[in-house]
């Protein structure tokens, strides 16, 4: 742990969704996700069962490791704050204040910009960080090193005749429409600013997929890769598609016996990968005669850390903060301490 006197006035804050540590915490966690709105008991049971099948979500531990590696790369303290579970964003910002941090470079570990994800992170952070100067990264979906990190993982498992299905988390249809309603099943209580602009999320997600495909030259031509949205919610109402299951059916009907699924909206293992892909989609694929595999998640990928470091350095240069209170490399404030 870094001594308070050594903490720079400039720090990095990584923002992530959060995940419960134990099965008995899932009802409280889901209440955070919905902003306190009751969730049907059968939904709570289903989500608890999914977590039970994977044992435990490693999201928090992996995100802390990403923060540690990033701190080594950029020589600044790196904090980790979660929106829906511990360490909560307001608690982490409070700790940053105590350590003398005055300026924050904030990066969401959801590279594709959306009002229902990145927008919520921003509102939670800005509410907690009043009086601090925050440089909030809106999105970094097309960063070349991010694409290379995904391509590096994909090369290890992909064969030239095997189609690739890129995926990102689905969101309710109403949340990407130009007139902005309450997002994602009223997940938050901080008011939104109405806008007539369409949500950039679907295009950002497909832009990342395209950038990864372009890293294969030649090989991954447009007729060898596809895109779908995964992990639609269970609360009703239409969610954006196409869905993975429908795409798998179409690929099987086209004569494919195997497919590689690469989720490009997630930067580490958690339930949407370890259950939705490794269990549910694989079982669904077997039921229709198509084998589903996936690359290793980015997790502590050196290329991912390079991408994050490049984002940080670019923002420091743009804001003029690069010379502010430099400290020795390797400074990570453990977010869970």
DSSP string covering 127-188: HH-TTSEEEEE---TT-HHHHHHHHHHHHTT--TTS-EEEEEE--BGGGGSSS--S-TTT--
Do the Cβ atoms of 310 and 148 come closer than 8 Å?
A: no
Q: What does the DSSP 8-state code read for residue 336?
A: T
| Pick from 66, 67, 52: nearest CA to 20 | 52
Do the Cβ atoms of 242 and 165 come closer than 8 Å?
A: no
* Domain 4-140+300-319 identical in fold to domain 144-293: yes
Q: Where are the domains of the chain?
A: 4-140+300-319, 144-293
pLDDT for the residue 222: 86
pTM of the predicted protein model? 0.89
The CATH number of the structural domain formed by 144-293 is: 3.40.50.1400
Distances (CA, A) of 197 to 113, 193, 326: 13, 11, 39
Query: Rounded to an integer, what is the distance from CA 5 to the centroid of its chain?
Result: 32
With the C-alpha atoms ordered 246, 249, 254, 259, is the resulting torsion angle positive or negative?
A: positive
Q: Which CATH number fits the domain 4-140+300-319, given the four candidates 1.10.10.10, 3.40.50.300, 3.90.1150.10, 3.40.50.1400?
A: 3.40.50.1400
Distances (CA, A) of 18 to 59, 60, 268, 337: 7, 7, 12, 16
Distances (CA, A) of 102 to 45, 176, 235, 241, 265: 43, 34, 40, 42, 30
pLDDT for the residue 4: 37
Q: Where are the beta strands (DSSP E) in 76-115?
A: 78-82, 103-108
pLDDT for the residue 323: 67
Q: Where are the beta strands (DSSP E) in the chain?
A: 10-16, 78-82, 103-108, 133-137, 164-169, 225-230, 258-263, 291-293
pLDDT for the residue 192: 42
Where the chain has pLDDT below 70, the residues are: 1-8, 178-196, 235-236, 323-337
Measured CA to CA, the distance from residue 304 to residue 64 in angstroms comes to: 14
| Pick from 193, 5, 175: nearest CA to 99 | 5
The first and second tokens of residue 322, run together, are: 């690069």
pLDDT for the residue 195: 54
């Amino acid at each position: 742990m870094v001594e308070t006197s050594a903490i720079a006035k400039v720090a990095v804050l990584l923002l992530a969704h959060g995940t419960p540590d134990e099965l008995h915490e899932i009802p409280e966690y889901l209440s955070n996700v919905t902003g306190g709105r009751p969730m049907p008991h059968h939904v709570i049971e289903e989500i608890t069962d999914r977590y039970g099948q994977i044992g435990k979500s490693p999201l928090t531990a992996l995100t802390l490791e990403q923060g540690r590696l990033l701190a080594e790369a950029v020589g600044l303290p790196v904090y980790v704050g979660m929106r829906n579970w511990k360490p909560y964003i307001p608690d982490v910002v409070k700790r940053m204040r105590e350590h003398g941090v005055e300026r924050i470079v904030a990066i969401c570990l959801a590279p594709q910009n959306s009002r229902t994800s990145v927008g919520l992170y921003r509102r939670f952070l800005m509410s907690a960080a009043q009086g601090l100067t925050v440089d909030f990264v809106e999105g970094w979906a097309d960063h070349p090193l991010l694409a290379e990190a995904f391509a590096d993982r994909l090369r290890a498992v992909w064969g030239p005749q095997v189609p690739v299905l890129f995926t990102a988390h689905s969101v309710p249809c109403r949340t990407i429409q130009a007139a902005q309603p309450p997002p994602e099943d009223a997940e938050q209580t901080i008011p939104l600013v109405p806008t007539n602009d369409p949500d950039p999320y679907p295009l950002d997600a497909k832009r990342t997929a395209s950038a990864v495909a372009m890293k294969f030259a030649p090989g991954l031509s447009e007729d060898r890769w596809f895109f779908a949205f995964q992990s639609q919610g269970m609360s009703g109402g239409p969610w954006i598609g196409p869905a993975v299951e429908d795409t798998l059916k179409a690929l099987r009907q086209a004569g494919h016996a195997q497919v590689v699924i690469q989720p490009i909206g997630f930067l580490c293992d958690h339930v949407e990968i370890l259950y939705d892909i490794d269990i549910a989609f694989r079982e669904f694929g077997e039921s229709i005669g198509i084998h589903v595999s996936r690359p290793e998640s980015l997790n502590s990928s050196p290329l991912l850390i390079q991408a994050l470091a490049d984002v940080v350095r670019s923002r420091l240069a743009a804001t003029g903060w690069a010379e502010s209170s430099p400290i020795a490399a390797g400074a990570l404030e453990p977010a869970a301490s």
